[in-house]
């Protein structure tokens, strides 16, 4: 996950940065939703989709009440946007897909969740944006698809995706059917 000429605090840069986005859905046709979200990602300015993982059917993690299984995937982007701008674009896509944030229920079911997992090697911790994503290294629904795409990907401060994957073996994450992807 190499980033060139990247500003250490803002992620501002002249060169393309490799960014990694986690996609998740467990309401309203999750597989179709993921496919539609990928089409939206493909339309982002100054951004290209470089690779998309297979879809995984995954057991909900961190939820108090029972929920439907999730469909999760990971996309690798090349982008010239700044990290904050990319996150704002991801949140706009979530809203277009009818994402409602629950004030009372943490990890509520959702039509679409787009997390910015990695942005080059950028490390930052503000309320609006924490990089790497603070929980990605302990989640099979992120590590399995990420390791499919980039087994040697290094999560700054945490380790290599392929190796971290071994620690989450107990979490159910099974490859499942994918819908057509953007070219």
The answer to whether 181 and 35 have CB atoms below 8 angstroms apart is yes
Give the residue with the Cβ less far from ligand A4P, 13 or 144. Answer: 144
Give the residue with the Cβ less far from ligand A4P, 16 or 111. Answer: 111
Judged by CB under 6 A, does residue 6 bind ligand A4P? no
The tokens describing 72, both together, are 């999760």
The question of whether 69 is a catalytic residue gets the answer no
Give the residue with the Cβ less far from ligand A4P, 84 or 179. Answer: 84
Judged by CB under 5 A, does residue 113 bind Mg ion? yes
Judged by CB under 5 A, does residue 115 bind Mg ion? yes
d(CA 49, CA 163): 25
* Nearest by Cα to 49 from 92, 18, 24: 18
DSSP-assigned letter for residue 53 = P
Q: How many helices (H) and strands (E) does the chain have?
A: 4, 10
Exactly one of 89, 115, 144, 148 is catalytic; name it. 115
Residues that bind ligand A4P (CB under 6 A): 24, 58-62, 70, 72, 87, 101, 107, 113, 115-116, 128-131, 133, 135, 141
């Amino acid at each position: 996950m190499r980033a060139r000429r990247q500003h250490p605090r803002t992620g501002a840069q002249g060169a393309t940065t490799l960014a990694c986005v986690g996609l998740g859905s467990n309401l309203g046709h999750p597989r179709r939703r993921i496919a539609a979200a990928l089409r939206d990602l493909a339309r982002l300015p100054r951004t290209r989709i470089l690779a998309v993982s297979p879809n995984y059917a995954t057991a909900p993690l961190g939820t108090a009440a029972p929920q439907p299984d999730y469909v999760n995937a990971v996309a690798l982007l090349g982008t010239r946007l700044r990290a904050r701008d990319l996150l704002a674009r991801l949140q706009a896509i979530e809203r277009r897909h009818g994402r409602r944030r629950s004030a009372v229920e943490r990890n509520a079911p959702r039509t679409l969740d787009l997390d910015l997992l990695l942005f080059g090697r950028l490390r930052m911790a503000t309320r609006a944006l924490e990089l790497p994503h603070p929980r990605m290294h302990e989640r099979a629904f992120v590590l399995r698809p990420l390791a499919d795409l980039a087994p040697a990907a290094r999560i700054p401060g945490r380790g290599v995706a392929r190796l971290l994957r071994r620690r989450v073996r107990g979490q159910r994450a099974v490859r499942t059917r994918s819908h057509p992807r953007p070219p």
